Amino acid sequence: KPKPKPKPKPKKAPGIKAVRKVTEHASAELPAYPSGLVGEIAEYAERRLAFQTPNIALATGLAAVSRMNDHKAVVVAPGGRATSLNLYTLITAQTGAGKETARAVLNEIGQAIAGEDMISSSFASAQALGRELSSSTGKSLLVFQDEYGHKLAHANSGSGAHDAAVGALLLELFGLPLGSYAGRKYSKEKDDIEPAELPYVGMLAATTIEPLVGALTDGAVYDGTLNRLIYLPQPSALVRNGDLKVGEVPDDIVSAGRRLWGGSSSGAQLNSALALSDAPNTIKIRGRLFRAIRMTNAASTVFDKFDRSLDSDKERGGPRGSLAGRAAELAIRVGGVVALGCAKNLNDMRLTQVHAKF
């Protein structure tokens, strides 16, 4: 009998294999930690990590300052465009390399500064997350997503209804800090979610590399999941930290953090600065005042040059084009967070060329 012909393998979109290969083997050198509060927190986290994983340390510093902002400051470009400072950051590391340390350090800093954890409670459903955001205007949350590769794969499989629903809502919320979430209507009125004004949600996601690579499908690229994430790759080798130190949060971090964030109960008034109504560096968005981190012309040129360098990828489309779509916006958000951490005077903040290059 003639042998049956093998079934053809389903074709993936051009470039998806390359994206997966780059992610699987990524061990790019990260830049030195920036000056200011982001760098100080990264250095503190690095001393707490059992292995030398600068990607985890840097992600911890960025997530901390982004959360401390509490949606009180935005970047304002020379043309007047405003950009929020919420970040969705993804870190990969080997099992046992210290992904959980990031969560522990963030919560310890939150307790030292304001007597509360910086990471919010986990949300078992999209309804729970939506209701939390609709409880007040400008609600700020930092969500920690452990085993993110498994959750992404579970959502992609169609069997993870809850993971898929929470993930879909997080995707929607990424771009809404300066807008509004419309809410949801369900067949049962008791399940309805009220609208939320100016919701500010950050996410720190952690995973081992293998399940993440397995979850990198066409859908994860084209639905915008990946181009919202700032990916900080793991080092190529797992090296023990020879300077491991566990201690209290340094006073400099506590005092600098309190300038930005007084905790949820105090409303994060940026304590050492003028009240918003009297501050000279404000911008009004949807009836609410924000402090403006003014982007200098030199910084704007850096971001514009970076964005234009990706035009060929955007024109070709495919996964690389999709990933390039938000790259410049993510760079501005990171630059704004670094600039906030460097600010000496909260009534006169600047995003400079140095922050933009980082």
pLDDT tens sequence for the chain (358 residues): 666 666 555 444 444 555 555 555 555 577 889 999 999 999 999 999 988 899 999 999 999 999 999 999 999 999 999 999 999 999 988 877 778 899 999 999 999 998 899 999 888 888 889 889 988 888 999 999 988 888 887 776 655 567 778 888 898 999 999 999 988 887 888 778 888 999 999 999 999 888 888 888 776 677 777 889 999 988 888 888 888 788 899 999 999 998 888 655 444 444 444 566 667 788 999 989 999 999 999 999 999 999 999 999 999 888 888 888 899 999 999 999 999 999 998 889 999 999 999 9
Residue with tokens 């760079």: 331
Q: Tokens in use for 303? A: 């971001």
Q: Tokens in use for 143? A: 């969500």
Closest CA to 235 of 95, 54, 24: 54
pLDDT score recorded for residue 10: 46
pLDDT score recorded for residue 210: 86
pLDDT score recorded for residue 267: 41
pLDDT score recorded for residue 237: 81
Q: Tokens in use for 215? A: 């979850």
Distance CA 341, CA 62 (A): 9
Query: Are 57 and 42 in contact, with CB atoms under 8 Å apart?
Result: yes
pLDDT score recorded for residue 33: 94
Distance CA 321, CA 16 (A): 11
Distance CA 99, CA 92 (A): 8
pLDDT score recorded for residue 212: 86
Query: Are 274 and 291 in contact, with CB atoms under 8 Å apart?
Result: no
Distance CA 293, CA 336 (A): 7
Beta bridge partners of 142: 202
State the angle between helix axes of 99-114 and 37-48 in degrees (0 to 180), rounded to the nearest 10: 120
Distance CA 107, CA 140 (A): 15
Distance CA 180, CA 323 (A): 25
- Nearest-Å Rg of the Cα atoms of the chain is 21
Helices (H) and strands (E) in the chain, counts: 15, 11
List phi, psi (to 5°) of 83. -130, 130
pLDDT score recorded for residue 275: 62
Query: Are 38 and 341 in contact, with CB atoms under 8 Å apart?
Result: yes
Distance CA 248, CA 113 (A): 12
pLDDT score recorded for residue 277: 64
